[in-house]
A and B are shown apart, each in its own frame.
Chain A
Amino acid sequence: DTAVSQTPKYLVTQMGNDKSIKCEQNLGHDTMYWYKQDSKKFLKIMFSYNNKELIINETVPNRFSPKSPDKAHLNLHINSLELGDSAVYFCASSHLDRRTEAFFGQGTRLTVV
């Protein structure tokens, strides 16, 4: 049973294209996140949704648009991809309680060529 699953695992695309990454969790959590991990392994939060509502929106280009159709899903759409968008993107979920940990998906390695 996969707790947080994201697809695809690998994504290679050309500059200027639009792509989406999907994420689903079956843990019954009410909060979901997108994190970006750069080539130096640094993890930075991009977005957070609680019960389908955006609660965290860090300084991210507006080419990145999250969508949460329900509290078990949080998708990430990226327009006009740039070379600098190449990274590993992680979806995560948790309860909205600071004492609880986040569960992470396996990551999507995005390569823009």
Chain B
Amino acid sequence: AQSVTQLGSHVSVSEGALVLLRCNYSSSVPPYLFWYVQYPNQGLQLLLKYTTGATLVKGINGFEAEFKKSETSFHLTKPSAHMSDAAEYFCAVSEERNQFYFGTGTSLTVIP
């Protein structure tokens, strides 16, 4: 069975503060993991992905995520939040036939 759990459907941070969005997964095959961002009334845009190799992956807009197999986690971080980071964030795992399973999403609010 495969699933993605995002803890915290809503996260609020102050501008300039650390952003931490949590994602845990379960997968029957070696996991390939993705983080997407969705701005209001837009489609999903890839932030970063982990397939193989280095477990700390860097993405766009200053985001990064670390794959921890022992914890089955792929948490997303950004050292300093910006107002433009306010959006919905989705963690996803790809399974056979490239079927993507998405978490329920985390809405990030940045407080000025």
Which A residues lie at the B interface, using CB under 8 A? Answer: 4, 31, 33, 40-45, 48, 50, 55-56, 90, 92, 94-107
Contact = CB atoms under 8 A, between A and B. Distances in A.
Interface stretch (B12-20, B65-73, B77-85, B98-106): B98-106
A99 B32 contact: yes
A101 B46 contact: yes
Interface of B: 29, 32, 34, 36, 38, 41-46, 49, 51-52, 88, 90, 94-102, 104-105, 107
A41 B88 contact: yes
Contacts of A96: 97-98
Given A48-B97, A99-B32, A101-B49, 17 more contacts: A4-B43, A48-B98, A50-B97, A56-B99, A90-B43, A94-B98, A96-B98, A98-B94, A98-B96, A99-B49, A99-B51, A100-B98, A101-B46, A102-B100, A103-B46, A104-B45, A107-B41
B17 to A, nearest CB: 24
B104 A40 contact: yes
Contacts of A100: 98
A63 to B, nearest CB: 22
Contacts of A43: 44, 90, 102, 105
